[in-house]
Amino acid sequence: MPKIKLSEKTIGLIKDVCADFGNQGSELINVLHQVQGKLGYLPAEVQEVIAKELNISVAKVYGVVTFYSFFTMIPMGEFPISICMGTACYVRGSEQVLAEFKRQLSIEVGQSTADNKFSLNCLRCVGACGLAPVVMVGEKVYGRVSPQMVKNIIAEYKEGCATESKSA
Amino acid sequence: MEMINLTIDQKPVVVRKGTTVLKAASSIGIDIPTLCYMKLDDMNIENKPGGCRVCVVEVKGRRNLAPACCTEATEGMEISTHTIRVVNARRTVVELILSDHPADCLICAKSGNCELQDMAHHLGIRQIHYQGEQSMYREDTSPAIIREINKCIMCRRCETMCNDVQTVGVLSAVNRGFQAVVAPAFEMNLDHSVCTYCGQCVAVCPTGALTEVDETGAVIRALSDPTKTVIVQTAPAVRAALGEEFGMPAGTLVTGKMVAALRRLGFDHVFDTDFAADLTIMEEGTELLTRLSAYMAGDQNVKLPILTSCCPAWVKFFEHQFPEMKDIPSTARSPQQMFGSIAKTYFADKIGVKRENLVVVSIMPCLAKKYESSRPEFSVNGNPDVDFALTTRELAHLINLGNIDFKSLPNEEFDQPLGESTGAAVIFGTTGGVIEAAVRTAYEIFTGKPLPRIDFEELRGMDGLRKATIDFNGTPINIGIAHGLGNARKLLEDIQAGNSEFHAIEIMSCPGGCIGGGGQPYHHGDAEILKKRQRAIYSEDKNKTLRKSHENPYITKLYDEFLGAPMSEKAHHLLHTKYFDRS
Amino acid sequence: MNKIKSLADLKKLQSDVQSKIKLREKGDHSENLVQIKVSMATCGIASGAKETMTYFIEELDHQGIDAVITQTGCMGYCYAEPTIELTMPGQPPVVYGFVTKAKALEIIEKHIKLNEMVDGIIPVTYNSIEN
Amino acid sequence: MAEYNMHILVCGGTGCKASQSELIKTNFKTRLNEFGLTDEIQVVLTGCFGFCEKGPIVKILPDNTFYTQVTPEDVSEIVEEHIIKGRKVERLLYKDPETKAAIGDAKGMDFYKKQIRIALRNCGFINPENIEEYIGRDGYAALGTCLSEKTPDEVIQMIKDSGLRGRGGGGFPTGLKWDLTRKSESDQKYVVCNADEGDPGAFMDRSILEGDPHSVLEAMAICGYCIGADKGLVYIRAEYPLAIERLKIAINQAREYGLLGNDILGAGFNFDVEIRYGAGAFVCGEETALIHSMEGKRGEPTVKPPFPAEKGYNGKPTNVNNVETFANIPVIINKGAEWFASIGTANSKGTKVFALAGKINNVGLIEVPMGITLREIIYDIGGGIKDGREFKAVQTGGPSGGCLTKSFLDTPIDYDNLVAAGSMMGSGGMIVLDDTDCMVAIAKFYLEFTLDESCGKCAPCRIGNKRLHEILEKITVGDGKIEDLDRLRMLSTVIKDTSLCGLGQTSPNPVLSTLDHFYDEYLAHVTSHKCVAGQCKALMHYSIDAERCTGCTLCFRNCPVGAISGERRAPHYIDQSLCIKCGVCFEKCKFDAVLIA
């Protein structure tokens, strides 16, 4: 993992978040949520700052980050694609949809495309089981997705301008 | 005291409320096997995540099996420890662990000392029915410790030691599910971390996941090199434990046999780190008295309490965690480094051997000593004062390689001039020993009177934090003792807050002091072994004619011939050091 | 908003706000309630159906009678607007024509409260679009 | 204040929101404004109606009109036709799947006929962001009753008498749990609401929090009063942004109205609620893991005892209940324990919310009385199997549960019967499977989930489930042997028997249950290397029937790996060594010339 240098501004931001939670080690998960919300991901250097501020070992921070699937140490693509792998989606074919996304983007789950445009992830039930199988691109939900639709979904974002289209 | 009645394998047993099923069973001679569980009695060290599930037993009326190590006995409980259901479950669980474990027992550093290997044998496992993917992690080699975590079984003992006991916080469980393993942050190498190399993780690891860096090969090469003069020093705690490696009972003192073995291995001179320990007392004791006198004279700038600095893991600990306090510990080097420094100057001159051709090997109960000897400030033009620091366990390997029947060796004496020592030096091997040795000397120098008594029982024991006030002829001197870095942290935080009542504090990283060092024969969770070693150390002290460091004639001679006086400029140059901010 | 300081406060607020969502509750139990459908196509509105509907809503509420009042499309009696369809629980619907405010009051007083039919009933010749 | 004579309820649950229900609401407001009707007609975004299959849902009251699959473009027509002219828009009405007749009144829908909505009583009925609507529906009355008329012991006795059991999975009697926590002595105690719903395919807790957050807050306060806690924590999945938002609004409103905070209702009782976020770990549904997670640690479970009732959050006595359990509490207080206990079976009282999904016509959230049969759920409420296929099984209890086959269609559903049938209630996911679902693959799917979600602390779960999964994988790719089936059963039994927490203790259930009920299917996989459901791709063999093939080249052009060759207008051929069995050729062929064996 290449070392990154955090700007003073970023460090200040992290410190502020920690201070908001009283620099309490027991607030680690809340702090991580907030910081990831602001920075998009939690690289090693960020975890080091958090550990120092909360006065806990950086190993513990890393242990927590790697425990919870919500936290990521890799920056997500410009358009993060999440495929619901809940049971309802699974029995309605989400596996094939995932395979098609992998094939089209030539990346595995948890990776980003070389141009950093797309990243691919699985998520547990989003609760839109009526629309199964469900795919999310950013905040946008696509329902009843078939492998054949995958190409078009990607194309929507490829041109650089995400066109509004009906989701269900 | 509420008592609980239960039956285990149909045998009735009465135990105190709060007793685990495991303990209750062992009290009537039923040894339920355990793997991840570890408890060092009376030392406040316990690891019972309930993770390995090897100790499961059947409890009547309970749906599933219960882990004996963390299930409390309750009134009327009916336990069965070896029904077919239990045996099948236990064997399956061990088979599963083995299915995710490299089967390289024959060449594993831990072979013969591996608790997993023993367990497989104990349960008579002859086939692993479940095969599949095995965890693959990067191997990590540091100056002292090798992490081969493909062999990690997630017992979490190292994590407990590193965090709860030592509060170093390098190791943590990371990832989850099948990928879960204990590792430093970002799975980085230990030498990039704040690891102190105290080696307590190695001391408790049940498998070969954590082992020491083996330098026996390099020592054998040096011994067979005709251009080299190879000398050896042995730390005080080694003699109280080495015998265990040869099947002798814990607490057997094997000083004489150890010397004989080293001589047979071909070392040109067999010396004693105890000599350097006496030297340490001269320097450190003088430093204490200087600071104390200045303090009593009203000097506000003087730093008190003075902290001992013999323990390299403790030094690295405060360099990382309390760098702002780096001018508080004594500047005296550890005995190992004092020895190396004197050997490669005074002694090398004496025998007319060039520094480059003199190889200093030390036998240490410790892993951090490997790291300490590699610190750049302890070398001259790239030539280290101590070339190789072997552990007690490595020495045992060397003795085996030398085809030596250790038990039948005669007792032999150390060589001179660096082999003479007093009882004060030998007790360096246990918690409380360094400060007791310092008190013996400082008292006499401070008061100018002979000690009314030599044994300071109030400084001894196994409690993690101890304190005592010693009357220096009307001047009360408050002494603190901590072993285990977690306990040390408490004292440091007090000092930081300005609440410390002490004039001098002894700190040792390992539970029990050096007798419980990371390089000692494995105790496998038996605290009795540490206590027996401690008793052996004190008995050696008792049997010595000379029991105060300043009475060591060869030390006096060293000052006369070479160093001048304690804290002289030469002594400063050769026997003192400085500390670095590593935060 | 002042804090609710006691159970009595809570009960008061509850009765105040209950009416706001009562309408929704009625939908769930309409078969047990008086139902009035007001024909609200163009001709109905032109003849004052809207006022009639408002009057029914207000008056029934005022009198504390639970009723479901909805609008419906043209019933085909454009000559008799405003027209309403009244369904008493468990009874077939009845259609009234020329329902002015006065007529509405009469319907409430007689038909709804006493279950006595009043003048102005138009014979039903259609099926409701609802089954 | 002006009273509305018509209410338009638009579903604001996650499913419908994903289908632009918010835009629907906006459009309604715009159109009503154009007609000057904003004072007469209220538009409300509510919680989930449950009928997710046909979302977005719009319900118009008081005439109870139920519009399905409404698009933002449909709004104008509804306003102009229904609102203005009083004519229902027939094409948007729900159609009875059998008679195809449009149903204008929601009461006429089979989907709702057999439901009894207690926990979901306010979902799809009130505006969850308006505390007054909740108060108007008896909200906080139960808390008021408890504080002014009942002692904690009386309330606990009521909960005990009601027979309410934990709805999160285990089914532990709620009253007993409260009692245990009440009896633990401590200066500080906590009430925790477990909203870390992780069961894939279950979303009832989220729906309740989105649709009726106050019912949970009220119940937590009641629990606090009973056990002697002044602090409540809701542990909620960070992946539920809408539920979090609504919960935050609800907490603030409750504080503003004095229903949370100090001296609630003048009874001298203090209680406040905070939110804690989960971060994507299924195991945190287990109470000890949840507590560790709330403390900022890895969500690893610890051995019980000590139970949270003795030593929980920050080492203090803690009562953990899940969302649905809490949602039942105010109703029990208001309507009485006897009323509640009159619903359900001997040992399972009240109702249960299920998330009905999979191969069923009416996917959605339903609340049914305990003791209802599977047949009623699937055929009456669920509208039968999708595409008219054959019912094969229903999976309940998610990754901890098992499959119920045809033979259980008439078994009354309650905690005990489900366990007896080799499954469990779980949090209430109900996935319907048809004859195209391979049971080995289903077991593997759940194992994959467990594998992903195991914390890794104990050996049987960490390694055992991995090995189980590997054996299943072997079977689905055709490398399985008959002895593997015994191995599966043996290993499953040991994992259940020895795992540390509920996750591992139940993770083999999907395997054991499918082995029990569909042994033949397993056998077919290992002996004749056949997957009858046609789902295990590696066992499939695609070939082209030369007689039927017209040589249209469609398959050739669509094959992603170039495994198909052949001249135009001549029969094509699949190279088996290249074929990845993706099935595209089969789907594309217009002449049924691609054969699967």
- Residue D259 phi/psi, 5-degree rounding, is -95, -5
- What does the block give as tokens for D224? 């606090």
Record: fold of D439-527 = de novo design (two linked rop proteins) (1.20.1440)
- Same domain for A61 and A87? no
Question: Which H or E element spans position B403?
Answer: none
Interval D74-81 mean pLDDT = 91
CA distance A73 to chain B (A): 10
SS3 D431: strand
- Whole-number pLDDT of residue C56: 87
Crossing angle for the helix pair B392-401 and B255-265, to the nearest 10 degrees: 50
Q: Do chains B and C touch (3 or more CB pairs under 8 A)?
A: no
CA distance A115 to chain D (A): 24
Neighbours of chain C (3+ CB pairs under 8 A): D
Whether the per-residue pLDDT at D200 is higher than 80: the answer is no
Q: Which of residues 37-96 of D touch B (CB under 8 A)?
A: none
Question: For the CA atoms of B262, B267, B268, B273, what is the dihedral angle to 10 degrees?
Answer: -70
Query: Which comes out higher in pLDDT, residue C44 or B187?
Result: B187
What separation in angstroms does the CA of D330 have from each of B416, D352, D504?
A: 87, 16, 34
- Same domain for A95 and A139? yes
Domain D131-340 in CATH: superfamily? NADH-ubiquinone oxidoreductase 51kDa subunit (3.40.50.11540)
- Same domain for A83 and A154? yes
A126: chain D residues, CB-CB within 8 Å: 14, 18, 239
Interval D6-23 mean pLDDT = 87
What b/e string do you get for B418-433 counting C-beta neighbours within 10 Å, with b at 16 or more? bbbbbbbbbbbbbbbb
B169: chain A residues, CB-CB within 8 Å: 56-60
Look at A63 and B186 and tell me if their CB atoms are within 8 Å: no
In a domain, A100, yes or no: yes
User: How much is the mean pLDDT over chain B?
Assistant: 95
B133: chain D residues, CB-CB within 8 Å: 466, 470
Handedness of CA B261, B266, B269, B273 (dihedral sign): negative
- Residue C26 forms contact with D (CB below 8 Å): yes
Q: Which domains does chain B have, with CATH numbers?
A: 3-122 (3.10.20.740), 281-333+421-575 (3.40.950.10)
Measured CA to CA, the distance from residue D483 to residue B358 in angstroms comes to 66
User: How much is the mean pLDDT over chain D?
Assistant: 91
Interval D298-308 mean pLDDT = 94
Work out whether strand B38-40 and strand B388-391 pair parallel, antiparallel, or are unpaired. unpaired
- Residue C68 forms contact with D (CB below 8 Å): yes
- Whole-number pLDDT of residue C34: 85
User: pLDDT tens digit string along D547-585?
Assistant: 899 999 999 988 888 899 988 888 999 998 888 887 888
Look at D452 and B177 and tell me if their CB atoms are within 8 Å: yes
Look at D15 and A128 and tell me if their CB atoms are within 8 Å: yes
Whether the per-residue pLDDT at B499 is higher than 80: the answer is yes
The residue of chain B with its CA nearest to that of D450 is: B177
- Same domain for A30 and A58? yes
- Whole-number pLDDT of residue D314: 95
Question: Which H or E element spans position D472?
Answer: helix D465-476
CA distance B91 to chain A (A): 29
Whether the per-residue pLDDT at A167 is higher than 60: the answer is no
The pTM of the full predicted model, rounded to 2 decimals, is 0.91
Banded pLDDT at A163 (limits 50, 70, 90)? very low
Interval D323-334 mean pLDDT = 97
User: pLDDT tens digit string along A47-62?
Assistant: 999 999 999 999 999 9
In a domain, A2, yes or no: no
Active-site residue (options: B142, B193, B309, B330): B330
A84: containing domain? 79-158
- Whole-number pLDDT of residue B33: 97
CA distance A33 to chain D (A): 8
- Whole-number pLDDT of residue B142: 93
Banded pLDDT at B24 (limits 50, 70, 90)? very high
CA distance D4 to chain A (A): 32
Record: fold of D6-113 = Glutaredoxin (3.40.30)
Q: Which domains does chain C have, with CATH numbers?
A: 29-122 (3.40.30.10)
- Residue D429 forms contact with A (CB below 8 Å): yes
In this structure, the number of other CB atoms found within 10 A of the CB of residue B230 comes to: 21
D458: chain B residues, CB-CB within 8 Å: 50-53
User: pLDDT tens digit string along B290-307?
Assistant: 998 898 888 888 888 999
- Residue D259 forms contact with C (CB below 8 Å): yes
Whether the per-residue pLDDT at D541 is higher than 90: the answer is no
Look at B169 and A67 and tell me if their CB atoms are within 8 Å: no
- Same domain for A88 and A144? yes
Count of H helices and E strands in chain D?
26, 20
- Residue A62 forms contact with B (CB below 8 Å): yes
Banded pLDDT at D2 (limits 50, 70, 90)? very low
- Same domain for A115 and A147? yes
- Residue D363 forms contact with A (CB below 8 Å): yes
Give the total residue count for chain A: 168
Is B514 among the residues known to form the active site? yes
User: pLDDT tens digit string along D202-234?
Assistant: 888 988 999 999 999 999 999 999 999 999 999
In a domain, A166, yes or no: no
SS3 D277: strand
- Same domain for A45 and A98? no
Residues of chain D with CATH 3.30.70.20: 540-596
- Whole-number pLDDT of residue B508: 97
- Same domain for A126 and A55? no
Q: Are B323 and B369 in contact (CB under 8 A)?
A: no
- What does the block give as tokens for A44? 């090693």
B193: chain A residues, CB-CB within 8 Å: 59
Is B369 among the residues known to form the active site? yes
Look at A143 and D19 and tell me if their CB atoms are within 8 Å: yes
DSSP D105: B
Is B287 among the residues known to form the active site? yes
What b/e string do you get for D545-584 counting C-beta neighbours within 10 Å, with b at 16 or more? eeeebebbebbbeebeeebbebeeeeebebeeeebebbbb
- Whole-number pLDDT of residue A160: 54
Q: Best of D1, D4, D5 to disrupt the C interface by mutation (most C CBs within 10 Å)? A: D5
The residue of chain A with its CA nearest to that of D443 is: A87
Smallest Cβ distance to A130: which of D55, D278, D582?
Answer: D55
The residue of chain B with its CA nearest to that of A66 is: B175
DSSP bridge partners of C36: C69, C86
Is B151 among the residues known to form the active site? no
- Give the range among A113-127, D523-537, D539-553 with minimum mean pLDDT: A113-127
CA distance A39 to chain D (A): 16
Four-way CATH pick for D540-596: 2.40.160.40, 3.40.50.2300, 3.30.70.20, 3.30.565.10: 3.30.70.20
In this structure, the number of other CB atoms found within 10 A of the CB of residue C38 comes to: 26
Active-site residue (options: B75, B324, B377, B569): B377
Domain count, chain A: 2
Interval C87-114 mean pLDDT = 86
Q: Best of D497, D499, D505 to disrupt the B interface by mutation (most B CBs within 10 Å)? A: D497
Look at D456 and B180 and tell me if their CB atoms are within 8 Å: yes
- Residue D199 phi/psi, 5-degree rounding, is -60, 120
Q: Do chains A and D touch (3 or more CB pairs under 8 A)?
A: yes
Q: Which residues contact D429 (CB under 8 A, 6 or more apart)?
A: A87, D199, D200, D201, D202, D354, D355, D357, D395, D396, D397, D398, D401
Interval D173-193 mean pLDDT = 96
Is B72 among the residues known to form the active site? no
Query: Which comes out higher in pLDDT, residue B267 or C129?
Result: B267
Q: Which of residues 223-242 of D touch A (CB under 8 A)?
A: 238-240
Long-range contacts of D576-580 (CB under 8 A, 24+ apart): D576/D541, D579/D542
- What does the block give as tokens for B40? 């060092």
- Tell me the longest C-alpha to C-alpha distance in chain C: 58
CA-nearest of B203, B196, B197, B238 to B425 is B238
- The conformational region for residue B567 under phi > 0 = left, psi -120 to 50 = alpha, else beta, is left
Look at D14 and A92 and tell me if their CB atoms are within 8 Å: no
Smallest Cβ distance to A125: which of D52, D201, D295?
Answer: D201
- Same domain for A33 and A86? no
- What does the block give as tokens for B419? 């082999």
Q: Do chains A and B touch (3 or more CB pairs under 8 A)?
A: yes
The CB-side HSE value for A134 (13 A sphere, CA atoms) comes to: 30
- What does the block give as tokens for D268? 């001298």
Secondary-structure class of domain D351-434 per CATH: alpha beta
- Same domain for A40 and A93? no
- Whole-number pLDDT of residue C131: 36
Question: Which H or E element spans position A13?
Answer: helix A8-20
SS3 D237: strand
Distance of CA D44 to the CA centre of its chain: 24
The CA-CA-CA angle for residues A92, A94, A98, to 5°, reads 160
- Residue D523 forms contact with C (CB below 8 Å): no
- Whole-number pLDDT of residue C130: 42
Q: Are B169 and B190 in contact (CB under 8 A)?
A: no
Look at D86 and C70 and tell me if their CB atoms are within 8 Å: yes
User: pLDDT tens digit string along B508-522?
Assistant: 999 999 999 999 999
- Whole-number pLDDT of residue C124: 59
- Same domain for A43 and A107? no
A67: chain B residues, CB-CB within 8 Å: 173-176
Whether the per-residue pLDDT at B94 is higher than 60: the answer is yes
Is B284 among the residues known to form the active site? yes
- Whole-number pLDDT of residue A2: 59
Token look-up 């006929």 returns D113
- Residue D235 forms contact with C (CB below 8 Å): no
- Residue A74 forms contact with B (CB below 8 Å): no
Look at D462 and B88 and tell me if their CB atoms are within 8 Å: no
Measured CA to CA, the distance from residue D227 to residue D208 in angstroms comes to 24
- Whole-number pLDDT of residue D561: 85
Look at C3 and D141 and tell me if their CB atoms are within 8 Å: no
- Whole-number pLDDT of residue A164: 44
User: How much is the mean pLDDT over chain C?
Assistant: 79
Residues of chain D with CATH 3.40.30.10: 6-113
Interval D144-166 mean pLDDT = 96
- Same domain for A106 and A49? no
Choosing from A16, A40, A67, the residue where a domain stops is: A67
Look at A129 and D297 and tell me if their CB atoms are within 8 Å: no
- Whole-number pLDDT of residue B208: 96
- Whole-number pLDDT of residue B380: 95
- Whole-number pLDDT of residue A165: 43
Token look-up 């992830």 returns A121
User: pLDDT tens digit string along B315-346?
Assistant: 999 999 999 999 999 999 999 999 999 999 99
CATH of the domain at A86: 3.40.30.10
B50: chain D residues, CB-CB within 8 Å: 302-303, 458, 500
What separation in angstroms does the CA of B500 have from each of B288, B310, B470, B503?
A: 16, 21, 16, 9
B170: chain A residues, CB-CB within 8 Å: 57, 59
